[in-house]
Amino acid sequence: MFRDHARQASLKKVTTRHDEGPVALSGRTVRLREFTLADLDGVRRIVGDDRVTHFLSFTTRNDEQARELLHTIVERSRERPRSEYYLAITPREPADPADHDRAVGFTRLRRTNEHSGRLVYAVAYAHQGRGYAGDAVRTVLDFAFGTLGLHRVTAAVGPDNRAGLALVKRLGFTREGVLRDHVHTNGAWRDSVLFSMLAPEWRPTQEA
C-alpha cells in the first residue's frame, strides 16, 4: 500500500501536457504507437534475442518474461499522469506486407523529473540497418521537446555499440562521460557512455 501511494506521489510530480489519451507519432519511415497485448510476437523478437539485448540494460527474456513485460507496458500506458512512454516502432512502408503494423522495435522515454527524460530504444535484429532506429529517435525527440516541453533528454549507450554511438552523435547529442559498471546484463557488468540533448540544441524534424 505504501509503495502504491509513493508511486502515485511520484507520478504527480511529472504531470505532462499529454496525459489524456494514447500516443501515435509519425516519422519519415516509421510510426510509433502504444503497445497492445497482440504485440507479443514482436516483443519476443526484440527482448528475447541476445544479439539485441547485448546492447540493452537487461538480460534476454524468455517467453513468459516477455509476456509479463508486455503486460506491464500496457498497464503503465494507462496511468494518468504518465511517467513513461513505451512505444512500438512499426514500419510505414514495410518490404514484407506481413510486417504492416508489426512491432519491430521500441522507444522508451521515461520522465526522470518535471523537465528531464531518459531515452532507450531498440530494433529487432532482422530489421536493423534500415534507418528505423534513427527515425524513431528523431520522432521521439520531437515529441519530448515539443509536446512534453522537456528541457533535457539523456541516452546511455554501451561503449561497444558502434551503431548506437554513431546514431546519437549524428543527431547532435553531447557526450558527458562514462558510467562505470552501469548495468549488469547477460551475466556481466557493462559501462555506458552518457549522452544528452538540451531543448535549445534540438532541431525539429520538419526543419532538418
Fold entry, domain 2-207: Aminopeptidase (3.40.630)
Judge contact between 109 and 140, C-beta under 8 A: yes
pLDDT tier for residue 18 given thresholds of 50, 70 and 90: low
Rounded to whole angstroms, the Cα distance separating 108 from 86 reads 4
Q: For the chain, what are the domain ranges?
A: 2-207
Q: What are 53-95's pLDDT values in tens digits?
A: 988 888 899 999 999 999 999 999 999 889 999 999 999 988 8
The grid coordinates of residue 41 equal 510476437
Please give the pLDDT value at position 28. 95
Enter the pTM of the model. 0.87
